[in-house]
């Protein structure tokens, strides 16, 4: 006898030509604010030193007991509320700070939101994770596997930072952002356009945590469990790769640089964003940044920036928007869309 639940859902298994459209948007930041002065009192640094090199004045940090799943679930709820929906067919969680090595955190996020039984899995492309997650969600919709996909970027990245390293402590913060994608038409506002995704594993050691995985599960050196970053080299790669990727998706869409109303890039460092804008030939006001208030939130940075830009009116319906990211792996990628009429949750 046929499984009635399968029969009822067989339409999801038929490939379709539908595009993935952003229907809802939400973000969530931990309430605890850590300003530069607090860091400067503990480490050999200053507010001026941090601001001049990163553009960051403060960041949010989780309280003990708050996890990536907690942040992701709240951002996901807000994205669903923004879309006026109470469900989704799949949850894609972009994170490099899963609550456990095994299992993935996405099923716990789905359950916490109330989406029991849906497909749910993690994507780990670190700071590029949200772009990779969007591509994955768009693929699920295009393949006919899902009609609504909740894509969440969430990280408690401060858990990977050496508390005594003045080179990384000021940079990173915690947070989550999410979008609900729905099946729709390619010419709709909010429809995701071309994607451009890349990686370069030979350069993994530029930005990595050596211990904790299968290769080096337990190291006697505590430093091996914290993030190591070769800042200047990462800076050069980030600027060049983000700009190159943006040019690729612009070419795919037939847009020129002058057609771009807003560039929402991964909020890694204000100087990276400014240099990328210069290399692309973008006007200064096109490159959006909220890094001063939130720091680098890894996979969460782009959806948090989208929510902030929509809330403050920087993003308006019809705007031509390019999103781009660069992160550990190395990984990088871009996509674009015309901004929809959504009210962030």
Catalytic-residue membership of 237: no
Residue among 266, 279, 248 at smallest CA distance from 327: 266
Token pair 């869409």 in the structure block, residue: 253
Q: CB-based contacts of 175: which residues, under 8 Å, 6+ apart?
A: 27, 28, 29, 30, 60, 71, 154, 155, 294, 297, 300, 301, 304
Q: Are 334 and 320 in contact (CB under 8 A)?
A: no
Q: CB-based contacts of 2: which residues, under 8 Å, 6+ apart?
A: none
Instruction: Please identify which of the residues 36, 124, 127, 269 carries the catalytic annotation.
Output: 127
Instruction: Please identify which of the residues 36, 124, 237, 266 carries the catalytic annotation.
Output: 266
**DSSP helix/strand/coil, 221:** coil
Rounded Cα gap, residues 215 and 118, in angstroms: 32
Rounded Cα gap, residues 99 and 94, in angstroms: 13
Token pair in block for residue 280: 């692309």
Q: CB-based contacts of 252: which residues, under 8 Å, 6+ apart?
A: 193, 194, 196
Catalytic-residue membership of 269: no
Rounded Cα gap, residues 191 and 66, in angstroms: 34
Q: Are 317 and 122 in contact (CB under 8 A)?
A: no
Class of residue 330 by CB neighbours under 10 A (exposed 0-12, middle 13-18, buried 19+): buried
Catalytic-residue membership of 127: yes
Instruction: Please identify which of the residues 36, 269, 290, 296 carries the catalytic annotation.
Output: 296
Q: Are 342 and 23 in contact (CB under 8 A)?
A: yes
Phi, psi of 12 (to 5 degrees): -70, -15
Rounded Cα gap, residues 264 and 323, in angstroms: 5
Token pair in block for residue 20: 């993935």
Q: Are 24 and 342 in contact (CB under 8 A)?
A: yes
Residues serving a catalytic function are 127, 266, 296
């Amino acid at each position: 006898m046929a499984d009635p639940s399968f029969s009822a859902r067989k339409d999801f298994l038929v490939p379709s030509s539908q595009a993935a459209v952003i229907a809802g948007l939400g973000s969530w930041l931990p309430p605890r604010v850590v300003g530069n002065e607090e860091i400067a009192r503990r480490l050999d640094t200053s507010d001026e030193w941090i601001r001049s090199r990163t553009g960051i004045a403060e960041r949010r940090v989780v309280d003990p007991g708050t996890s990536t799943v907690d942040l992701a679930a709240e951002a996901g709820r807000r994205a669903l509320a923004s879309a006026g929906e109470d469900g989704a067919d799949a949850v894609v969680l972009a994170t490099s700070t899963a609550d456990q090595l095994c299992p993935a955190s996405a099923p716990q996020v789905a359950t916490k939101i109330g989406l029991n039984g849906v497909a749910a899995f993690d994507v780990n492309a670190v700071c590029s994770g949200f772009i990779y997650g969007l591509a994955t969600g768009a693929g699920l919709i295009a393949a006919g596997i899902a009609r609504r996909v909740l894509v969440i970027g969430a990280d408690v990245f401060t858990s990977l930072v050496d508390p005594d390293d003045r080179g990384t402590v000021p940079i990173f913060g915690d947070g989550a952002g999410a979008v609900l994608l729905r099946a729709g038409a390619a010419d709709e506002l909010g429809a995701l356009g071309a994607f451009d995704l890349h990686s370069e594993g030979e350069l993994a050691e530029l930005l990595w945590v050596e211990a904790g995985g299968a290769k080096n599960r337990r190291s006697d050196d505590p430093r091996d469990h914290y993030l190591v970053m070769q800042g200047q080299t990462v800076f050069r790669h980030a600027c060049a790769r983000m700009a190159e990727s943006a040019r690729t998706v612009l070419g795919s869409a037939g847009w020129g640089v002058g057609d771009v109303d807003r560039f929402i890039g991964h909020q890694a460092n204000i100087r990276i964003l400014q240099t990328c804008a210069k290399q692309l030939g973008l006007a200064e006001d096109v490159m959006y940044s909220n890094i001063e208030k939130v720091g680098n939130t890894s996979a969460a940075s782009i959806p948090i920036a989208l929510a902030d830009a929509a809330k403050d009116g920087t993003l308006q319906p019809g705007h031509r928007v390019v999103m781009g990211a660069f992160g550990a792996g190395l990984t990088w990628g871009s996509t674009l869309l015309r901004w929809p009429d959504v009210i962030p949750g």
